[in-house]
Amino acid sequence: MKITEDILYVGVNDHKVDLFEGQYVVPNGMAYNSYVILDESTAVMDTVDAHFGQQWLENVGNALNGRKPDYLIIQHMEPDHSASIPAFLEKYPDAKVVATAKAFDMMRQFFSLELGERQTIAANGGTLCLGRHTLHFVYAPMVHWPEVMMTYDEADKVFFSADGFGKFGALDVEEDWACEARRYYFGIVGKYGMQVQNVLKKAKELDIRIICPLHGPVLTEDLGYYLNLYDIWSSYGVETEGVTIAYASIYGHTAEAALYLNQALQSKGVKTAVHDLARTDLAEAVEDAFRYGKLVLACNTYNADINPFMNDFIGRLLERSYQKRTVGFIENGSWAPLAAKKMRALLENCREITFAENTVTLLSAMKPENREQLDRLAEELA
- Coil vs helix vs strand at 372: helix
The gap from C-alpha 229 to its chain's centroid, in whole angstroms, comes to: 12
- Single residue among 234, 256, 276 that ends a domain in this structure: 234
- Structural domain containing residue 123: 7-234
Q: What is the pLDDT of residue 114?
A: 85
- Coil vs helix vs strand at 179: helix
Cα 264 from Cα 261, distance rounded (Å): 5
Q: What is the mean pLDDT of residues 357-369?
A: 97
Q: Do 209 and 70 share a domain, yes or no?
A: yes
Q: Letter for the amino acid at 222?
A: D
Cα 64 from Cα 61, distance rounded (Å): 5
What pLDDT digit, counting tens, does each position of 120-131 carry? 999 999 999 999
What pLDDT digit, counting tens, does each position of 21-49 carry? 999 999 999 999 999 999 999 999 999 99
Q: Do 51 and 199 share a domain, yes or no?
A: yes
Report yes or no on 14 lying in a domain.
Answer: yes
- Coil vs helix vs strand at 97: strand
Report yes or no on 22 lying in a domain.
Answer: yes
Cα 334 from Cα 319, distance rounded (Å): 31
Q: Is the pLDDT of residue 1 over 90?
A: no
Q: Do 225 and 251 share a domain, yes or no?
A: no
Q: Is the pLDDT of residue 353 over 90?
A: yes
What pLDDT digit, counting tens, does each position of 99-154 carry? 999 999 999 999 988 899 999 999 999 999 999 999 999 999 999 999 999 999 99
Q: Do 259 and 281 share a domain, yes or no?
A: yes
Cα 186 from Cα 75, distance rounded (Å): 21
Q: Do 152 and 56 share a domain, yes or no?
A: yes
Give me the percent of the chain exceeding a pLDDT of 70.
100
Q: What is the mean pLDDT of residues 220-242?
A: 96
Q: Do 224 and 256 share a domain, yes or no?
A: no
Cα 347 from Cα 159, distance rounded (Å): 37
Q: Do 245 and 229 share a domain, yes or no?
A: no
238: left (phi over 0), alpha (psi -120 to 50) or beta: beta
The contacts found for 101-110 with CB under 8 angstroms, 24 or more apart, are 102/146, 102/147, 103/74, 103/76, 103/77, 103/147, 103/149, 105/147, 106/77, 106/82, 106/147, 107/74, 107/77, 107/82, 110/77, 110/79, 110/82, 110/83
Ranges assigned E (strand) in 181-266: 210-212, 240-248
Q: Do 224 and 110 share a domain, yes or no?
A: yes
**Domain with 158 in it: what CATH number?**
3.60.15.10
Q: Do 225 and 360 share a domain, yes or no?
A: no
Q: 136 with 180: CB under 8 angstroms?
A: no
What pLDDT digit, counting tens, does each position of 255-307 carry? 999 999 999 999 999 999 999 999 999 999 999 999 999 999 999 999 999 99
pTM score, whole prediction: 0.93
Q: Do 91 and 195 share a domain, yes or no?
A: yes
Q: What is the mean pLDDT of residues 56-72?
A: 97
Q: Is the pLDDT of residue 319 over 90?
A: yes
Q: What is the mean pLDDT of residues 147-173?
A: 97
Q: Do 144 and 111 share a domain, yes or no?
A: yes
Q: What is the mean pLDDT of residues 324-341?
A: 96
Q: Tell me the H-state helices in 248-322.
A: 253-267, 282-291, 308-319
Whole-angstrom CA distances from 5 to 2, 8, 63, 162, 216 are 7, 8, 12, 21, 21
Q: Do 178 and 304 share a domain, yes or no?
A: no
